[in-house]
Structure 1
Amino acid sequence: MASTALVDVLPTGGRIFTSIPDIFFIPEFVFGGLVWTLVASTRVFPENPLGWVMFVSVFCFIMTTLWFLIFLCGANQSSIWPSLDVGYHFVAVIFYLSASVDLAYTIILITSKLSTKIYQLDIAAVVMSFLATLLYFLHAIFSALRWKRS
């Protein structure tokens, strides 16, 4: 009779820097932080059309930090964590995609009122937002594949 041994499905400690879905944590930090700072550094008229973008970038930055720390400390070894990992990253993808589209649409609407320097910051924010969306999407797909294997 074959024995069924529990295998670590999710990496812990330093192994998160070498596993495929979890290696996306660092670029998610970088691009999410860039979206946050680029959007916060511009002044947009009318006031506050980018509140959703700021909420998403700050929320995902904080949640990804907490998620990263949970993985780093090894508190992710329960059987529910693979599905929570997939769920969080798909929610992050939906949030970031909606924020990216909102940001791009807002920038298109106010293009004629912007100076060149502000316009460049806003375009950079749009690009970083779509890159963050892509990174969260890749993380979600690879996490789903890992969840299916478990």
Structure 2
Amino acid sequence: MASTTMGDVLPTGGRVFTSIPDLFFIPEFVFGGLVWILVASTGIEHENPMGWVMFVSVFCFVMTTLWFFIFLCGANRSRSWPTMDVGYHFVATVFYLSASVPLAFITVLEGQVLAALAALAPVSGLDSDLPLDTSKIYKLHKLHIAAVVMSFLATLFYFIHTIFSAIRWKRS
């Protein structure tokens, strides 16, 4: 009869790159980092929920990096690691979802304001008289759209990682 040891449950070293739940570390890095970069490049105002989005993206990026290196170095040998793995990825999923929804809402509102400005400009001849640089506003709006997409993709990958980690935890 084959026995299951902790070495069979959580991968270490190079096996992190080949096991299914832990393979999602890479897209979590990529999409989480892109959210961080895209939101940071647009600027953050204190009344705007972009501050929460920045906190979530930076926190999850740093924690996922630490988590990844713990797995890579093999420091995840105790029996509590599968539980902590599920817990961390669940918290990251909830955090990213709680950041993605307000980010999408703000982006939709920006789009409505831009549509209203575009509708007013030809009617009133305000095209050259607008005090706002509309090309800059459109660029920021496009960056926010990209941040929304990346944020929901990061949420999806954290959610998938949570599901597979929970399956692995149940087997341990």
- Residue 42 and residue 136 in structure 1: after superposition, are their counterparts in 2 closer, same or farther (change >3 A)? same
Moved more, 5-14 or 106-115: 106-115
TM, length-normalised to structure 1: 0.92
CA distance in 1 between counterparts of 2:166 and 2:56 reads: 22
In the alignment, what sits opposite 2:34?
34
Superposition deviation, residue 48 in structure 1 = 3.9
SS at match of 2:139: helix
| Gap runs ≥5 in structure 1 | none
Deviation at 1:47, TM superposition (A): 4.8
C-alpha distance in 2 between matches for 1:20 and 1:68: 14
TM-aligned CA distance change 1:40 to 1:75, over 3 Å: same
1:17-65 deviation line (CA, Å, top 9, x unaligned) = 0000000001100000000000000135675431100000000000000
Is the alpha carbon distance of 1:98 and 1:27 closer, same or farther for their aligned partners in structure 2, counting shifts above 3 Å?
Answer: same
1:139 has 2:139 as partner: no
Q: 1:7, CA displacement in angstroms?
A: 4.3
Of stretches 112-121 and 72-81 in structure 1, the one that deviates more from structure 2 is: 112-121
TM-score normalised over the length of structure 2: 0.81
Shift of 1:12: 0.2
Equivalent AA in structure 2 for residue 12 of structure 1: T
Deviation string 1:105-139 (CA, Å, 9 cap, x unpaired) is 11122332572211111100000000000000000
8 Å contact 2:21–2:165 — kept in the other structure?
yes
For structure 1, which segment, 39-48 or 133-142, has the greater mean C-alpha deviation from structure 2 after superposition? 39-48
Name the CA distance, whole Å, in 2 between partners of 1:54 and 1:44: 9
Whole-angstrom distance in 2 between the partners of 1:76 and 1:49:
35
